[in-house]
Amino acid sequence: MAATAATTDTTTTTETTTETSPTLEVRGLRVAIAEREILHGIDLTVDKGEVHAILGPNGSGKSTLAYALMGDPRYDVTDGTVTFKGQNLLEMEPDERSRAGLFLCFQYPTSIPGVRMGNFLRLAVKARFGDAAVKTFRRELQETLRLLKMDRSYMERYLNEGFSGGEKKKAEILQMAMLKPEIAVMDETDSGLDVDAFKVVADGVNAMRGPERGFVVITHYNRMLEYIKPDFVHVLIGGKIVKEGGPELAQFVDQHGYRPILEEVRARGEEVELPEEEGATYGERPELETRVHDPFRSHGRTAI
Amino acid sequence: MATTVDIQELPLAINVDPNRERMLREAEKELPLEYRAGWHDEIAPIFKTGKGLSRFVVEEISRMKGEPAWMTEIRVNAYEHFLTRKLPEWGADLGQVNFDDIYYYLKPMEGQGKTWEDVPEDIKNTFDKLGIPEAERKFLAGVSAQYESEVVYHSIKKELEDQGVIFTDMDSGLREHPDIVKKFFGKVIPYKDNKIAALNTAVWSGGSFVYVPKGVHVAIPLQAYFRINAKNAGQFERTLIIADEGSYVHYIEGCTAPIWSEDSLHCAVVELLAMKDATIRYTTVQNWSNNVYNLVTKRAVAYENATVAWIDGNLGSKVTMKYPAVYLMGKGAKAEIVSAAFANSGQVQDAGGKVWHCAPETTSTITSKSVTKGTGRAEFRGWLKIYKGCVDSVSAMRCDAMLLDKQCYSGTTPVIEVDEEKVALGHEATVSKVGEEELFYLMSRGLTEREAITQIVNGFIEPFTKELPMEYAVELNRLIALQMDAAVG
């Protein structure tokens, strides 16, 4: 599966991995926010070179998993273990996790006024790879910008401020490409993108696939997975992983929605807590937002 | 009816150079890792008045300087006004200032250096450590260096002198151009303005006198550097800048002092006159040590289509009270006041800006950014007055405060008086702290908590920093990073 994705990655892997244990190992992870438990014991094993998709309806706890892995202080880990490259990830601060090679591609990246993208990227690269990396920073940045079809003027703009949805996601991919994580968690990177931006983001991710990197792709619909082919698919509903499989599972969800899986789980006699949140989708397949530009058609009137 | 305008629509004078970011980084590399201004040197002044103030001391200063009788008279009148005047009852607490425990005049050397070789070795070393001669070689058109009460070094590029630009210390200005000084001295800020301005007028020494002739554009900045070295010292420089019709000048001042346990006093008076179509930019980056009372009166007059910009950065000091002001006297005149203040534990930054619109079609912006940390206190005072008849005037006042700790304090006192209806007016104030979300986002990219907060703070005051020449922007960012390191007291 991964072999079909051409790896044009320029990463030079300086570290040789001697560990035999998987890169990211999550065991029995329970996470609460404001004293309400969202994740009820997650097991997940991700190794380099693998792409894992986490599918699930809105409100099932997918983003919670992503933030908890990155160490967002607003989420409380109440039970379970997470090891990353043999280290206890849960004892590390978010910046230590990042420097160790974990990356989170935010669904809604926050804007930081006054902090220029270029300066910020330089600091981040320096934090991860040390002073020496600053020397090759310019060249690498230029290459990555070209790959992502991003303009250099991005670098002078304030971080995410006034960025469109597509620009924000591209900026996240750019950061990921520059920081070369060993495990990248992508939280709904496909949401809110028009067709062009979607393509750029997907191409960017595919270009970064390779034996030195693992991905956890979180999404609530299958479109993303048509571009980024997963090796493993996990269905997360009500804070539990209820079904696991290969890429065929994603196709099944795409065709039949989550309802048959829910019924299967109930038939097993397991309790599944359904998200109360409004707009939770179980069957429908949301369409991509498309931007149609037709100069002859505007405000509902058709020019003759 | 007054309408609200979006402050962002009002253009600021400097456009950001696209190469600036790169140059900033390169300049940063060259700077020493630590900024140290807190040392002092064992230099005995060749003359000083006794501690405390009296009519005799005032007359003695004037006699020492060989001043004309009219100046002695102004000094004595100002001294008498000082005695009768009360300290301001609003603003920071000045009750601890003991005016009798201050040396009012300290003369560090005889004469004045035209080259650094003329300056006594130990004083020259001080300015070397502060990087002044190097900055002069690199990017300044003229330099004035004041040590205690007197300007010890002065230089100006010959081509400017040939164009008729005068840039000298105030004492020489009075000796060499008495007619100009007599005409303008104390006209923008009369000694009756406030007690501190009266004190300055009585005992002033040093400061800069600048005159830019009609149509002359001084492309690179002039700089003055003020250094207090002695304990219990008072520094009372007096600056007068006149930009004649259609001219342009950018004047920069920097200030430092060593850390003494006793308090020092810095009371400057700065008067600017921008004639028709002239532009004056006045940039201050002060980094006083935490024992300095910094009480400064700064005012400008802008005539028809003239522009005055006060760019005022306040770090350090024990107490700062400073409200740069502009009188917009001619049609189309423009005022721009951008200030940033950083109040760390034990410090009070009471700052802001004032503008009086006295002519139609005048424009003003007052932008203030304050950051408070530990037990620091920042107070913004803005005063905007638009007189009747000043039609089509536009003004925007904006004040943003960022609080880094639980104990710090930030206050805002804007006063807006508008007597004319046909104007556009905006006022905005925000208070923020470093958000958890922003912090997590930056940390998730590998920045430590301290680096992340420094980035957020630097980003917050960026609207100020981008107004500074590159070299000063670098220094300011560095000073803020050092403030972040400083322990919370």
Residue extents of the structural domains in chain B: 1-30+323-489, 47-315
pTM for the predicted model, two decimal places: 0.82
What pLDDT digit, counting tens, does each position of B230-247 carry?
Answer: 788 889 999 999 999 999
Interface A:B, Cβ pairs < 8 A:
87
What pLDDT digit, counting tens, does each position of B296-331 carry?
Answer: 999 999 999 999 999 999 888 899 999 999 999 999
Q: What's the confidence (pLDDT) of residue A297?
A: 34
What does the pLDDT average to over B401-418?
92
Q: For residue B479, is pLDDT > 90?
A: no
Contact present, B394 and B4 (Cβ < 8 Å): no
- For the ranges A155-169, A268-282, B151-165, the lowest mean pLDDT is seen at A268-282
Q: Residues A171, A172, A178, CA angle at the centre, nearest 5°?
A: 90
Closest to B458 in 3D by CA, of B413, B377, B378, B404:
B404
Q: For residue A259, is pLDDT > 60?
A: yes
State whether residue A63 sits within 8 Å of chain B by CB. Answer: no
Instruction: Kindly indicate the confidence band of residue B121, based on its pLDDT and cuts at 50, 70 and 90.
Output: confident
Instruction: Report CA-CA distances (Å) from B169 to A137, B60, B152, B208, B358.
Output: 47, 20, 9, 4, 31
What is the DSSP secondary structure assignment for residue A3, as one 8-state letter? G
Q: SS3 of A4, please?
A: helix
Q: What's the confidence (pLDDT) of residue B398?
A: 92
Q: For residue B355, is pLDDT > 50?
A: yes
Bridge-based pairing of strands B363-372 and B166-169 is: unpaired
State whether residue B33 sits within 8 Å of chain A by CB. Answer: no
Run of H or E residues at A183:
strand A183-187
How far is B193 from B85, CA to CA, in rounded Å?
10
What pLDDT digit, counting tens, does each position of B138-156 carry?
Answer: 778 788 888 888 888 888 8
Q: What is the mean pLDDT of chain B?
A: 86
Q: What's the confidence (pLDDT) of residue B210?
A: 95
**Ramachandran angles phi, psi of B376, nearest 5°:** -60, 150
Nearest to A124 among B18, B447, B460 (CB): B447
What does the pLDDT average to over B208-220?
94
How far is B151 from B172, CA to CA, in rounded Å?
10
More confident residue, A292 or A158: A158
Chain A contact probe: residue of B441, B451, B458, B460 with most A CBs at under 10 A: B441
Q: What's the confidence (pLDDT) of residue B26?
A: 60
Q: Give B433 to chain A, closest Cα distance, Å.
A: 13
What does the pLDDT average to over A176-205?
88
Contact present, B230 and B106 (Cβ < 8 Å): yes
A70: CB partners within 8 A, 6+ apart: A94, A97, A98, A102, A104, A185, B440, B444
Cβ B21–A156 below 8 Å, yes or no? Answer: yes
Nearest to A116 among B21, B437, B448 (CB): B21
Q: What's the confidence (pLDDT) of residue A13?
A: 43
Chain B contact probe: residue of A115, A155, A173, A186 with most B CBs at under 10 A: A115
Instruction: Kindly indicate the confidence band of residue B487, based on its pLDDT and cuts at 50, 70 and 90.
Output: very low
Nearest to A109 among B441, B446, B449 (CB): B441
Share of chain B above pLDDT 70, in %: 90
Instruction: Report CA-CA distances (Å) from B66 to B69, B72, B174.
Output: 9, 10, 10
- Helices A132-147/A165-179 angle, 10° precision: 140
Closest to B180 in 3D by CA, of B199, B198, B160, B166:
B166
Supply the ipTM of this predicted assembly. 0.85
Buried b (16+ CB within 10 A) or exposed e, B304-314: bbbbbbbbbbb
Instruction: Kindly indicate the confidence band of residue B89, based on its pLDDT and cuts at 50, 70 and 90.
Output: confident
Run of H or E residues at A76:
strand A76-84
Cβ–Cβ contacts within 10 Å for residue A19, how many? 10
Contact present, B246 and B306 (Cβ < 8 Å): no
What is the DSSP secondary structure assignment for residue B5, as one 8-state letter? -
Share of chain A above pLDDT 90, in %: 56
Instruction: Kindly indicate the confidence band of residue A276, based on its pLDDT and cuts at 50, 70 and 90.
Output: low
Instruction: Kindly indicate the confidence band of residue A6, based on its pLDDT and cuts at 50, 70 and 90.
Output: very low
Instruction: Kindly indicate the confidence band of residue B459, based on its pLDDT and cuts at 50, 70 and 90.
Output: very high
What pLDDT digit, counting tens, does each position of A61-117 carry?
Answer: 999 999 999 999 999 999 999 999 999 999 999 999 999 999 999 999 999 999 999
- The full set of domains in chain A, from first to last, is 2-10+23-113+164-302 (3.40.50.300)
Nearest to A98 among B16, B21, B444 (CB): B444
Instruction: Report CA-CA distances (Å) from A199 to A105, A148, A218, B211.
Output: 16, 10, 17, 62
**Ramachandran angles phi, psi of A266, nearest 5°:** -65, -35
Q: For residue A278, is pLDDT > 90?
A: no
Q: SS3 of A169, please?
A: helix
Instruction: Kindly indicate the confidence band of residue B380, based on its pLDDT and cuts at 50, 70 and 90.
Output: very high
More confident residue, B29 or B286: B286
Residue A280 bridge partners (DSSP): none
Cβ B448–A114 below 8 Å, yes or no? Answer: no
Cβ–Cβ contacts within 10 Å for residue B190, how many? 15
What is the DSSP secondary structure assignment for residue B91, as one 8-state letter? S
What does the pLDDT average to over A190-199?
80
Q: For residue B468, is pLDDT > 50?
A: yes
What pLDDT digit, counting tens, does each position of B343-353 carry?
Answer: 999 899 999 99
Q: What's the confidence (pLDDT) of residue B55?
A: 94
- For the ranges A271-275, B134-138, B175-179, B192-196, the lowest mean pLDDT is seen at A271-275
Cβ A106–B442 below 8 Å, yes or no? Answer: no
Q: Give B487 to chain A, closest Cα distance, Å.
A: 22
Cβ A97–B444 below 8 Å, yes or no? Answer: yes
SS (H, E, C) A242-272: EEEECHHHHHHHHHHCCHHHHHHHHHCCCCC
A residues 155-194 closer than 8 Å to B (CB): 155-156, 158-159, 175, 179
What does the pLDDT average to over B240-265?
87
For residue B447, the chain A residue with the least C-alpha distance is A95
Instruction: Kindly indicate the confidence band of residue B52, based on its pLDDT and cuts at 50, 70 and 90.
Output: confident
Q: Give A185 to chain B, closest Cα distance, Å.
A: 12
How far is B285 from B269, CA to CA, in rounded Å?
16
Cβ A123–B461 below 8 Å, yes or no? Answer: no
Q: In angstroms, what is the C-alpha Rg of chain A?
A: 20
Can you list the alpha helix ranges (DSSP code H) found in B177-294?
Answer: 178-184, 195-203
Closest to B153 in 3D by CA, of B179, B116, B190, B180:
B116
- For the ranges A117-126, A176-185, A256-265, the lowest mean pLDDT is seen at A256-265
How far is A49 from A1, CA to CA, in rounded Å?
11
Instruction: Report CA-CA distances (Å) from B247 to B58, B182, B392.
Output: 36, 22, 26
